[in-house]
Amino acid sequence: MSAQENIERTKRAYAAFSAADVDGASEAIDDDVEWIVAGDSAISGTYHGKEEVLGFWMTLAGKEFATRPQYFLGDDERVVVLTSVTVGGETSDQADVLTFRDGKVVKFQSAGDTAMQERVWGRK
């Protein structure tokens, strides 16, 4: 897939996520995705497979998690999303890196404010 196709898939997924459209948000996620959340908070770690990721999303929804993408940058394999996230009444900037293979996200890794995550979610 081209960089532009991957960016467009990513934009549609973020828009669907913001609209609470789980099917639309997860459409481009590979069944065997690896989803990585940095830090030592209760939600940090690696989620394996689409079902674990959907469970993780339900946890996020419990604290009214929202993401507002500002920039999408990409190549034929990866898309980087610079976004602002709000959860538990706090807001911070975050960078998400989505790795694509055959039109599907096979790896998602976020880099954000891990101290905020610990305040909102608690430590492991």
For the chain, the C-alpha Rg in angstroms (whole number) is 14
**pLDDT tens-place string over residues 15-49:** 999 999 999 999 999 999 999 999 999 999 999 99
Amino acid identity at 49: G
**pLDDT tens-place string over residues 42-89:** 999 999 999 999 999 999 999 999 999 999 999 999 999 999 999 999
Of the pLDDT bands very low, low, confident and very high (cuts 50, 70, 90), residue 1 is confident
Record the tokens describing residue 39, joined without a space: 């830090």
Amino acid identity at 71: Y
**DSSP calls for 20-66:** T-HHHHHTTEEEEEEEEE-SSBTT-EEEESHHHHHHHHHHHHTTT-E
Residue with tokens 């419990």: 62
Q: What is the CATH number of the domain that holds 105?
A: 3.10.450.50
Of the pLDDT bands very low, low, confident and very high (cuts 50, 70, 90), residue 6 is very high
Domain with 89 in it = 3-121
pTM above threshold 0.85: yes
- How many domains would you assign to the chain? 1
Amino acid identity at 4: Q
What is d(CA 118, CA 105) in angstroms, rounded to the nearest whole number? 27
Record the tokens describing residue 13, joined without a space: 């997924």
What's residue 87's pLDDT? Answer: 95
What is d(CA 114, CA 105) in angstroms, rounded to the nearest whole number? 23
What's residue 38's pLDDT? Answer: 95
